[in-house]
Amino acid sequence: MTTTTVTAPARAAHRDPNVLRWVGAYTASTLGDSIYYLALSWTVVSTGTPAQAGLVMAVSAVPRALLMLGGGVVADRLGPRRVVIGSDAVRSLVVLGLAAALLLTSPGLWALAAVALVFGVVDALFLPAVGALPPRIAPHDQLARIQGLRGLAYRCGAVLGAPLGGLMVALGGPTAAFGAAGLLFALSVPLLSALRLGPLPATGEARDGTALSDLVDGLRYLRGHRLLGPLMIIVLLSDLGFVGPLNVGLAVLAEQRDWGASGIGWILAGFGTGAGAASLLLTVRGRVPRAGAVSGLTMTVGALAIGALASTTLLPAAVAVAVAVGLLAGLSGALCNALVQTHCDPAYLGRVTAVSGLCSLGLAPLSFPVTGAAIGLWGLGPVYAVSAAVCALSGIYGLVVPAVRRAELPR
């Protein structure tokens, strides 16, 4: 008599307590980030000039961009959970220390700049490690759902963090806001420590070289991968075309239309709603057929919506267009991230995530001054049209490259 063993199907990621612990930790960390940045900007503006505020806020971006690739190496060598726990623990101690300093004295701009510098260094470690952790906590066929959950957590942190930070500042000043941010960072540590990690698939290289050789090996792996290399180009092009209009252009648009700061808030809320809906779709479905082709198509159509935003004259119409941009561009970005997660060798995922983060967080923001100068010379319409063309180019490129167009998520 033959005995047949039936293996229970893997639990869906959004019902897996292990994954939900990770989502809870990531949400707490994202909320802490949002509250921290609002409190920092408020404190610097209250202490110095707007120009000094911009300088302090920019201090974080420099080490984050310069050290991001090294952060990917650290995540792959030491393990992503260890790096994420260490990053949030350091952020918690630094921010709580700043809150205590504000309670006892009035730290100068140099102290605030030092905190911002530490945050930039820690971000360079945290972001690649966060991207490398999902394959260790869920089966391969659930990684797309995890990207949807991560998108929802990020939107939750971005939408709720600013109002919470503003409330904390109004009730207890920057000290209360920094204290709340520090406690949220601390909350993520026990949640991450309770994660059950699966073994790393033994398909990566043996790490017996130097950190530099690991970095070179990771870049070589990325360059030689027929899908991941083109996906990095898509990420860079889409962010280059997208972040300028959403950040610099949106403020100018609201000013010219007399929508005020509340108008910016409504448009950003519309975008966040659309992007959240895209993340929810990926979370619930878990798999979108022909993911590569859908990603390219939605980015191409979303580019048309980006271009249309500059011609809107009524705020409700602009909000509706922003919802469409968030839904289409958000779905395209979520699918790109899911394809990276599911097609990358987990042993290289920290370094590949670092390259993706460098494209979106290090290189794309360089378009801010260019966008502002171009709007001053040629106006909103032409600049939005060029930005939309760059986004459309990323979508068309994805549709033209066979490896991207035919890419599928695991069943």
Work out the pLDDT band at 95, boundaries 50, 70, 90.
Answer: very high
Specify the DSSP class assigned to residue 13. G
- According to the model, what pLDDT value does residue 138 have? 86
Query: CA-to-CA distance for 321 and 225, rounded, in angstroms?
Result: 36
Work out the pLDDT band at 369, boundaries 50, 70, 90.
Answer: confident
Q: What is the mean pLDDT of residues 359-384?
A: 84
Query: Whose CA is closest to 301, among 278, 277, 327?
Result: 327
Q: What is the mean pLDDT of residues 51-74?
A: 82
Q: What is the mean pLDDT of residues 140-158?
A: 87
Work out the pLDDT band at 69, boundaries 50, 70, 90.
Answer: very high
Q: What is the mean pLDDT of residues 3-24?
A: 69
CATH superfamily of 13-193: MFS general substrate transporter like domains (1.20.1250.20)
pLDDT higher than 70, residue 389: yes
User: What residue type is assigned to position 241 of the chain?
Assistant: G
What one-character-per-residue DSSP string does 274-336 give? Answer: HHHHHHHHHHHH---TTHHHHHHHHHHHHHHHHHHHTT--SHHHHHHHHHHHHHHHHHHHHHH
Choose the weakest-confidence range: 247-251, 304-308, 371-375: 247-251
| pLDDT tens per residue, range 220-273 | 999 999 999 999 999 999 998 888 887 788 888 888 899 887 788 788 888 888
Contacts of 329 (CB under 8 A, 6+ apart): 238, 242, 275, 298, 299, 302, 306, 391
Q: Which stretch, 77-91, 135-149, 274-288, 357-371, has highest mean pLDDT? A: 77-91
Residues of the chain with CATH 1.20.1250.20: 13-193
pLDDT higher than 50, residue 5: no
| Strand, coil or helix: 226 | coil
Regarding the domain delimited by 217-405, which CATH topology (the fold level of the hierarchy) does it fall under? Answer: Growth Hormone; Chain: A; (1.20.1250)
Work out the pLDDT band at 207, boundaries 50, 70, 90.
Answer: low
Residue linked to tokens 């027929």? 226
Q: Which stretch, 133-137, 144-148, 303-307, 374-378, has highest mean pLDDT? A: 303-307
- According to the model, what pLDDT value does residue 169 have? 85
Contact predicate 203/44, CB 8 Å: no
Query: pTM of the prediction?
Result: 0.87
What does the block give as tokens for 175?
A: 């000290």
- According to the model, what pLDDT value does residue 51 have? 65
Other CB atoms within 10 A of residue 357 CB:
24
Q: What is the mean pLDDT of residues 336-354?
A: 92
Alpha carbon of 285 to those of 88, 233, 342, 409: distances in Å? 31, 27, 16, 12
Alpha carbon of 355 to those of 41, 143, 174, 178: distances in Å? 28, 19, 34, 30
- According to the model, what pLDDT value does residue 40 have? 86
pLDDT higher than 90, residue 208: no
